Amino acid sequence: MRLGLILLLVGAAAAARGPEPFRPRPLPELVAEARKATPPAAPPSPRAPDLVDLAAFDPGLRLDIRYATHDNFLKFPVYDQARAFLQRPVAEALARVNRGLREKGLALRILDAYRPWWVTKVFWEATDPTDRAYVADPGKGSVHNRGCAVDLDLVRLADGAPLEMPGDYDEMSPRSHADYAGGTETQRAHRDLLRAAMEAEGFKVNPEEWWHFNHASAREYPVLNVPFGAIMGLPAILRGTRQVLLVSTPSWDADRGALRRYERSGSGPFRPVGPPLTAWVGKKGLAWRSDAGAPPPPGPGVLKREGDGRSPAGILALGDFWGYDLRAPEGVRLPYRSLTDCDRCVDDPGHPDYNRLVRLPRPDAPVAWKSAEVLRMSTEHYRHLVVIRYNDDPPTPFAGSCIFLHVAPGEGGGTAGCTALAAPDLLEILRWLDPAAAPVLVQAPAPLLDSLRAAWGLPGELRP
């Protein structure tokens, strides 16, 4: 009885004190954890992402990216770059709003736009549950994550001064509500002017935040988790190609996936060619390119290393065609070289010929490297072999070597880091490839393809 009375009194005292105050974990810890997390799985979106840099798209827009500074509700910079991106149709609508405001001597000031998913996770974890109406649930993803939401206000063109609003940006209070009746008449007029201009171009205000506007196309785009530093637009290697081989795998660790091919005339859209083919990649799966000049990875994942049993993920050019026969198979247009017993691919990271194909004067000639791969094998693996141009300009020690497109073993199975097809399928691909079309190979886990499109400008038609 006495113990029960004590527990009752303790419980009553705790209830009288109320709930414990919210104490978020340290922000650097939350950021480090969120950067490694993965957004929830979602079905394919109708539109492929096409993020554009607002500063370049409309130089008339003013930028004041608060989350790259301490001037935000966290009092902590979560962005490492003060940049703003939106999906192209959203950016076009925003530019129209900005043009219309010039007649009034005003301009839009962008406070935030596309926001990587991991940042939404940080906001949620760092916000008191009683205030989470002002932040998005990372379990669902936000419109900012889709590149279809923008935070903004108005500034005068004459001096760049912001117009007064009823509440401050990022303020978690009723003054932030779009229908807040307080403040001065002038402040409310400024807020209503902004809202009218934005809604005329297909945006809708967030009821809790007068500065936050969602575009009508939001649900057509995927939730993205691409770092700002990885968004680079269409790389040169894709601008000049008319043929693409796309290898997509179910996950980073899967050793097989599907190869699809696409072609286009001139600079027109790509169209699929033939059915998908089974392709094998590294026995440990895929890993982002880590060679010199590789673009920043557009999402989390391991980096390619020598001997890791993973194939490089990314966009890769194709080199020469080699094989066991004296002549190339009929109908193949790629430059051909016949392999001999003297041909090696050096995989010793400490040797100057690392990742080079070398022909010895005789098979037993003395060598200075510690290891190299014999290319004229006793098996059929290299009967048909196309060099995948990875880590060759110049080679980076330990980034990976001897990456080829070759014949898969009869029973299938992962490779040491190459990409392989059944012999008949590989011959079909070889006869299709046209060196004049500058063919390229694109490899990535299927869940990361939207991130790759958003970061590197991968054409939307290249979709599994």
pLDDT at 188: 98
Q: What is the pLDDT of residue 16?
A: 52
- DSSP summary character for residue 105: T
Locate the domains of the chain by residue range. Answer: 25-220, 233-453
- Long-range contacts at 201-205 (CB < 8 A, ≥ 24 apart): 201/93, 201/94, 201/96, 201/97, 202/93, 203/93, 203/97, 203/150, 205/178
Please choose, from the candidates 117, 26, 75, 76, the residue with its C-alpha nearest in 3D space to the C-alpha of residue 451.
117
The percent of residues above 90 in pLDDT, for the chain, comes to 85
For the chain, state the CA radius of gyration: 28
Peptide bond into 394 cis (omega under 30): yes
- Read off the pLDDT band of 13 (50, 70, 90): very low
Length of the chain: 464
What is the pTM assigned to this prediction?
0.85
Contact 40, 305 (CB under 8 A): no
Q: Is the pLDDT of residue 6 over 70?
A: no
Give the pLDDT band (50/70/90) at residue 19.
low
Q: Which CATH class is domain 25-220?
A: alpha beta
Beta pairing class for 271-280 and 256-263: antiparallel
pLDDT tens, 451-462?
999 998 888 899
Query: Does the structure show a pLDDT above 90 at 267?
Result: no
The pLDDT value recorded for residue 4 is 53
Between 253 and 412, the higher pLDDT residue: 253
Tell me: the pLDDT tens digits for 270-327?
999 999 999 999 999 999 999 998 989 998 889 999 999 999 999 999 999 999 999 9
pLDDT at 18 over 60: no
Give the pLDDT of residue 14: 45
| H/E element, 54 | helix 54-57
Tokens of 372: 């190299």
pLDDT over 90 (residue 9)? no
The residue whose two tokens read 């033939």 is 274
Higher-confidence position of 64 and 411: 64
Q: Report the pLDDT value the prediction gives residue 1, as an integer from 0 to 100.
A: 47
**Span 373-393, mean pLDDT?**
96
Q: What is the mean pLDDT of residues 349-369?
A: 97
Per residue in 400-409, pLDDT (tens digit) is 999 999 999 8
Residue 67's closest CA among 139, 124, 123? 123
Q: Look at 13-27, 98-112, 163-177, 191-205 and tell me which has the smallest mean pLDDT.
A: 13-27
Taking every pair of Cα atoms in the chain, the longest distance, rounded to a whole number of angstroms, is 97
Mean pLDDT, residues 384-406: 97
Which has the closest alpha carbon to 62: 149, 176, 146, 162?
A: 162
Residue 17, judged by CB atoms within 10 A of its CB (0-12, 13-18, 19+), counts as exposed
Q: What is the mean pLDDT of residues 173-179?
A: 97
Of the listed ranges 68-72, 98-102, 131-135, the one predicted with least confidence:
131-135
Amino acid 321: pLDDT: 97
Average pLDDT of the residues in 17-29: 82
Mean pLDDT of 25-51: 91
Question: What pLDDT digit, counting tens, does each position of 415-448 carry?
Answer: 999 999 999 999 999 999 999 999 999 999 999 9
